[in-house]
Amino acid sequence: MTNIDFKAEVAARKEALIADLFSLLEINSERDDSQVTPETPFGPGPVKALEKFLSLAARDGYATTNVDNYAGHFTYGDDLPDDAEVLGIFAHMDVVPAGSGWDSAPYSPEIRDGKIYARGASDDKGPTMACYYGLKILKELNVPLTKKIRFIAGTDEESGWGDMDYYFKHVGLPDPDFGFSPDAEFPIINGEKGNITEYLHFSGENIGSVHLHSFTGGLRENMVPESATAIISGDLEGIQAKFDAFVQANADKNLKFESELASDDKMTVILHGRSAHGAMPEKGVNGATYLAKFLDEIGVVSPFIKIAGTILLEDHAGEKLGVAFEDPKMGALSMNAGVFKFEDSASNNTIAVNCRYPQGTDSDKIYEVLIALAGVTAVTKSAHEHTPHYVPMEDTLVSTLLSVYEKQTGLKGHEQIIGGGTFGRLLKRGVAFGAMFPGDIDTMHQANEFIPVDVLLRAAAIYAEAIYELAK
Residues catalogued as catalytic = 94, 157
| Residue 156 near residue 46 (C-beta atoms within 8 A) | yes
| Residue 178 near residue 111 (C-beta atoms within 8 A) | no
Cβ-based neighbours of 5, under 8 Å, separated by 6 or more: none
C-alpha 108/C-alpha 380 separation (Å) is 39
DSSP SS3 for 88? strand
* CA 152 remoteness from chain centre: 18
Taking residue 358's Cβ as centre, other Cβ atoms within 10 Å add up to: 22
**Listed residue (82, 130, 52, 138) closest to 471, CA to CA:** 138
What is the dihedral sign for C-alpha 404, 410, 416, 418? negative
How distant, in Å, are the alpha carbons of 46, 226, 265, 335, 339 from that of 258? 33, 14, 16, 27, 20
C-alpha 45/C-alpha 373 separation (Å) is 39
Taking residue 415's Cβ as centre, other Cβ atoms within 10 Å add up to: 17
How many helices (H) and strands (E) the chain has is answered by 11, 24
Burial class (CB in 10 A: 0-12, 13-18, 19+), 199: buried
C-alpha 56/C-alpha 35 separation (Å) is 26
397: left (phi over 0), alpha (psi -120 to 50) or beta: alpha
How distant, in Å, are the alpha carbons of 92, 122, 169 from that of 67? 14, 25, 10
**Listed residue (92, 83, 74) closest to 174, CA to CA:** 83
Burial class (CB in 10 A: 0-12, 13-18, 19+), 383: exposed
Residue-wise DSSP of 179-218: EEESSEESS-B-EE-EEEEEEEEE-S--BSSEEEEEEEE-
How distant, in Å, are the alpha carbons of 25, 247, 256, 307 from that of 213? 38, 23, 21, 17
